[in-house]
Amino acid sequence: MRSDATLKNQKCGWNYKKEKADRVSGTAKTQIQAERETKRLSSLTGGGEVRIHGEDGKIRDSDTVKPANDPNPPKDKIS
Residue pLDDT, tens place only, 1-52: 567 777 777 678 898 888 888 888 899 999 899 999 989 888 888 888 888 9
Q: Report if residue 7 sits inside a domain.
A: yes
| Global pTM value | 0.75
- Residue 74 located in a structural domain: no
Residue span of the structural domain in which 58 resides: 3-65
Instruction: Report the run of H or E that residue 31 belongs to, with start and end.
Output: helix 31-44
**Edge-to-edge strands of the sheet including 59-65?**
26-28, 13-18, 3-9, 48-53, 59-65
Q: What is the pLDDT of residue 33?
A: 92
Instruction: Examine residue 73 and state whether it is found in any structural domain, yes or no.
Output: no
User: Does residue 28 lie within any of the structural domains?
Assistant: yes
Q: Work out whether strand 3-9 and strand 59-65 pair parallel, antiparallel, or are unpaired.
A: unpaired
The whole-number average pLDDT for the span 62-76 is: 75
Number of domains in the chain: 1
Domain for residue 76, yes or no? no
Q: For position 68, what pLDDT does the model report?
A: 64
- pLDDT at position 74 over 60: yes
In a domain? residue 70 = no
